[in-house]
Structure 1
């Protein structure tokens, strides 16, 4: 018999194989996302360096866990436990950073001074025009983002159907002193974009905190396995069996 309880060892290896598969999927997804990121780099899209580090890290650590579980090597188990501690701390930090970044981004979306530079860029104006047509919204913070000339993409039909939330479009009169459609969408594009940002941030936070909890469990299991190996060695080679309750 081995130094580690058979059920615990199989469970440990199984979860590491599972995370190894997840690591392969993350590497594949990062490869696909890199091509898209290169196309969007002209618009200031962030790079995917950290995504590569995370994907390769998950794959590498899971491979180390599989080796440590199969070989029952104390040093490999200790290294794996160290990675679990580091991973747990990093995931918690990333989760907190995402929460803070989401709140700052939400505040900047509601500040007209932050929106003005985007509205002065012709490419961004074209992008926002496209969003207004597809999402049935007008302006980022308010229709006044367009100045005195409201574009035709803001035109609202009170009997129209569609938009992000479905149902009938909610229309208002265009601001006084402006030109353009008489009826425009009441919903702003900033509110809709914030909806998507909140959704992505919530999923990412759940991912980070979920990995932190998983890393904690991996740490506890690896410490238990190290204890079993040491107990086996100190007992002069006698196999260790967990107590049945």
Structure 2
């Protein structure tokens, strides 16, 4: 390997050290302080251990100025980040679907209790919307918060009778 820039080498060593220290702290936390009955903590043990292993390999590459450990470190960190991004997207979609199913199961909205109705009317006024999917969620008792204003550009229900 050719001559390595000192600033690049030191910055790489600082980043690897920061990763190593933070992952070591996470491992300590999960090992000694967290409740071991939760399955998610076992998954965190695995990811923290793998990240610490990649940091050690990267530190070896920086100290010995070898190219292959730096490549292994970079590829491992990139794959870990991609995994977390995909997992986060999957979880967001799953949570969104669960919330939609829960709220759509409450239809029609006219069956809500009084306190929920007041909160829902306030949300409709604030966000200029009507119902969960449309004004038809209210069936025959469409509230005032769904009526059109003078300069309304949002879909709304006209308070004028149709002739």
Alignment TM-score, normalising by the size of structure 1: 0.39
Moved over 4 A (4+): none
Q: Which residue of 2 aligns with 1:81?
A: 74
Q: Any gaps of 5 or more consecutive residues in structure 1?
A: 114-141, 144-171, 173-185, 189-245
Instruction: Work out the number of aligned pairs and report it.
Output: 111
Measure how far apart 1:106 and its partner are.
Answer: 1.7
Q: Which residue of 1 aligns with 2:83?
A: 90
CA–CA separation in structure 2 for the residues paired with 1:48 and 1:22: 16
**Higher relative contact order, structure no. (Cα contacts within 8 Å, ≥ 6 residues apart):** 1
Q: CA RMSD in A?
A: 2.8
Q: Which residue of 1 aligns with 2:3?
A: 3
Change (3 A) 1:111 1:9: same
Q: Which of 66, 78, 97 is 2:59 aligned to?
A: 66
Measure how far apart 1:16 and its partner are.
Answer: 0.7
Measure how far apart 1:187 and its partner are.
Answer: 5.3
Find out whether 1:51 has 2:44 as its counterpart: yes
Does the 8 Å contact 2:19/2:55 carry over to 1? yes
Alignment TM-score, normalising by the size of structure 2: 0.57
CA–CA separation in structure 2 for the residues paired with 1:51 and 1:108: 30
Q: Any gaps of 5 or more consecutive residues in structure 2?
A: 107-111, 118-163
